[in-house]
Amino acid sequence: MGNGYLRWLLVVGATSLTRRAPNTDTRTGAWVRSLLDRKPTRLVTVAIANKTARTAWAMLMRREDYRAPAAV
C-alpha cells in the first residue's frame, strides 16, 4: 500500500483544498466545487490526493518540473 505517512500527507493537503474550494475563484476551485456537487466530500478528497500522487510520480519518472495548466 505504500508509505502511510506520505499517503496521510496527500490526504491532508487534499482536505485543505476541498475545504477552501467554496471560497476560491480559480479554475481548480471550480473543478473541485463541481466534484463536490456530484460526490461525497471524502471521496473527492481521496480522489484529489490520488491525482496529486499520480502527478508527482509522473514528474519524478520523466524528470520534469511541474507545468501549471494555461489559464483560460
pLDDT value of position 72:
64
| C-beta atoms surrounding 19 within 10 Å | 13
pLDDT in tens, 29-41: 999 999 999 999 9
- Provide the grid cell at 11: 490526504
Pick from 4-13, 20-29, 32-41: least confident: 20-29
- Evaluate the CA torsion angle 55, 61, 65, 71 in order and state its sign: negative
Contact 46, 11 (CB under 8 A): yes
pTM here? 0.84
